[in-house]
Amino acid sequence: MAEKSSAAREIEISPENKEQVIKEFAPMVKYVANRIALRLPPHIEVDDLISVGVIGLIDAIEKYDPSRGAKFKTYAEFRVRGAILDELRALDWVPRSVRQKASNMDAVMEKLKARFGRYPEDEEIAKELGLSLEEFYDTLQETQSMPILSLEDLGIARESGEHQSLLDCLAGKSDADPHTQLRLSELRDIIAKAIDTLPEKERLMVSLYYYEELTMKEIGEVLGITESRVSQIHSKAVMRLRTKLKALIAEEY
């Protein structure tokens, strides 16, 4: 398994040791940037993501408040990831054609699921889309870079009217109002429910890739399948999660 961070211990944060903290958490920034880059088109430079991630780390150092109960490592990871994702959204890096393909696939998935009362097979989706099975897998690969769910987009307004991102809540802010806490709890339930609906192999893929943070190659070794097959399973899991989350969020809100 890839090393997640050299900053496993909690350290004291102060203006005086800012440079030391940046150096110590630099491997974490690089790790997060590379993980995100795995799902991006090749024209997105990893070094650019790392630079944005460092800005997120500096922001975390300046805003971190230990009295709120979160460990700095946890808070910093969310800030770094959030800074990178914000930059990608600003760049609008997903081509319109890919967005359209993802939307078409999501619609077909829901249509066939309603027709059959089960998740459709790959061949059934490909046929409905008018694609060969090989073309379907190629399209899946293209659209896996679409975000499954944007936590930032599901941010809410506090009673004061100030916008509060769910990213901040997940990072351990303890001053969230009851409405924020309730919304966050509901969101966690929605995500858990969506994951539970996945077929067993895809559920395992989500666990190994997103929770255990194994690489595609490492997952292939665990499951005894090729890396390209792992990528296909991951792409299908992403598509299923995206459509299921949209449906569940529409029901809830």
Cα separation, 153 vs 82, whole angstroms = 12
DSSP state of 12: -
Q: Which pTM does this prediction carry?
A: 0.56
Residue bearing tokens 């802010």: 173
Is the residue at 66 inside a domain? yes
Angle at 95 between CA 91 and CA 100, to 5 degrees: 135
Of 56, 91, 126, which closes a domain? 91
Cα separation, 206 vs 145, whole angstroms = 15
Provide CB contacts within 8 A for 22, sequence distance 6+. 54, 57, 58, 61
Question: Which range (23-32, 52-61, 133-142, 239-248) has the least confidence?
Answer: 239-248
What's the average model confidence in pLDDT over 180-207?
77
What's the average model confidence in pLDDT over 137-149?
73
Q: How many Cβ atoms from other residues are within 10 Å of residue 222's Cβ?
A: 13
Which pLDDT tens digit goes with each residue over 167-184?
A: 444 444 445 556 556 666
Which pLDDT tens digit goes with each residue over 76-95?
A: 888 898 888 888 877 766 67
Instruction: For residue 177, give both structure tokens.
Output: 């109002």
Question: Could you give the angle at which helices 178-196 and 227-252 cross, rounded to 10 degrees?
Answer: 130
Residue 102 has pLDDT above 60, yes or no: yes
* Pair 20, 111 in one domain: no
Q: What is the average pLDDT value for the chain, to the nearest integer?
A: 76
Of 73, 91, 109, which closes a domain? 91
Angle at 151 between CA 7 and CA 70, to 5 degrees: 35
What domain count does the chain have? 2
Is the residue at 27 inside a domain? yes
* Pair 186, 241 in one domain: yes
Host domain of residue 43: 15-91
Is the residue at 145 inside a domain? yes
